[in-house]
A and B are shown apart, each in its own frame.
Chain A
Amino acid sequence: MELLMALALFTVAAVSLAGALNLISLTVGESIDDAEIREQLRAAVLEATRDPAIKEETRETNPNERGIYFRIEVVRLDLKNDQGEGLSNLYEVKVTAMRETPDGRTEALDTAMTYANANLL
């Protein structure tokens, strides 16, 4: 009985340790993936906002090796101040990182949004 209990304790400890290590490695992998997605989002936002020929559009990039692609939505804003003067050439740029799951669903991983003025740069 004592022997069995000792073995059971050891097994529980070993399984817990393996589980904890697996969780650590998964967390590290996810944080690296997140950092890479943020960098891709930054690149896509920069590409869309610094384009002198910015225009209203919605487009998607090709999926990368991990099946992640980016939807870039550029919407022209029609804003006016209290005096009724229009703020021309202002665009809202929204980039969403998307991924197709193995069961066919599409999930949004992260989003970045900013405003861009076509005549600013």
Chain B
Amino acid sequence: MPPRSSSRKAFTLLEMMLSVAVFVLLVTSAFSLVGATSELMTEVSEVQNEAAQRMRFIEVCRAAFESMTGNSSLEFHYFDRSGGRFDTYLALVDAPDAFDFGANTQDEIRRVVLAAEIQSGGYIRTRVYYMDDLSFDEAKKSDFQQHDAPHVELIPRMRQLSWRFYDPLTREWKQTLDGNLKSNLVELTFQIDASSPPMRSVYWHLNGGGR
């Protein structure tokens, strides 16, 4: 049996403990870095998604108003649902290409209604209803609470959505389309999430109705 060499090299206990400590430190740092990176990327992605959703909504509305012809007109209805919070219904009359996602296929559909309806929790649901004269009259009789018109959901949860209409005579924005206001400019203000500020957009459209 060969004699054990006393000069054999090995790590000391101190070196081993130090190595393990550094390893633990690096692993912990790496994990926290990956976690923070993942969290930041998730937040960035959410912000991007919401911004894209805002822009898509604006573009969809713009396309709808631009599709209005000289025979088209606007109607605006609103109903107090709870303590000053209103459901609003903006009807684009005789604008067959407005919000055309394939649901507006019937010739008798005269009104494409962009609805902003208060939901439980205070959120607003935005939908587009496709209505003929009969279903629109019935819906109006029930304050738009009982109808089964075909619809497309645009944004299920929104914090705020309001419309205003430009009066060229007084050069002021009006809350409603009452009387003989012939408005060609419509203002939309909406807020999807509380973390982002309200967004304002203005649309011009042909208006043959002159309500």
Contact = CB atoms under 8 A, between A and B. Distances in A.
A35 B185 contact: no
Contact of A35 (B40, B55, B184): B55
A87 interface: no
Interface of B: 18, 22, 26, 29, 33, 36-37, 40-41, 43-44, 47-48, 51, 54-55, 58, 166, 168-169, 171, 184-185, 187, 197-204
Given A21-B41, A32-B48, A39 B199 contact: yes
Range class of the A interface residue count: 20 to 34
A51 interface: yes
A24 B37 CA distance: 11
Given A7-B22, A14-B29, A29-B47, A36 B166 contact: no
Contacts of B18: 3
A111 interface: no
Interface in A92-111: none
Nearest to A38: B55
B35 to A, nearest CB: 12
A46 B58 CA distance: 14
A19 to B, nearest CB: 12
B33 A24 contact: no
B200 A40 contact: yes
A38 B26 CA distance: 46
A79 interface: no
B200 A46 contact: no
Given A25-B40, A29-B47, A40-B200, A51 B33 contact: no
B26, B44, B47, B184, most chain A CB atoms within 10 A = B44
B95 to A, nearest CB: 18
Contacts of A66: 197
Interface of A: 3, 6-7, 10, 14, 17-18, 21, 24-25, 28-29, 32, 35-36, 39-40, 42-44, 46-47, 50-53, 64-66, 121
A25 B184 contact: no
B51 A35 contact: yes
Nearest to B37: A21
Given A18-B33, A36-B54, A65-B198, 17 more contacts: A3-B22, A10-B29, A17-B33, A18-B36, A32-B47, A35-B55, A39-B55, A39-B201, A42-B202, A47-B202, A50-B204, A51-B171, A53-B168, A64-B197, A66-B197, A121-B184, A121-B204
Contacts of A17: 33, 37
Contact of B185 (A6, A18, A36, A50): A50
A66 to B, nearest CB: 6
B204 A46 contact: yes
Contacts of B168: 51-53
Contacts of A121: 184, 204
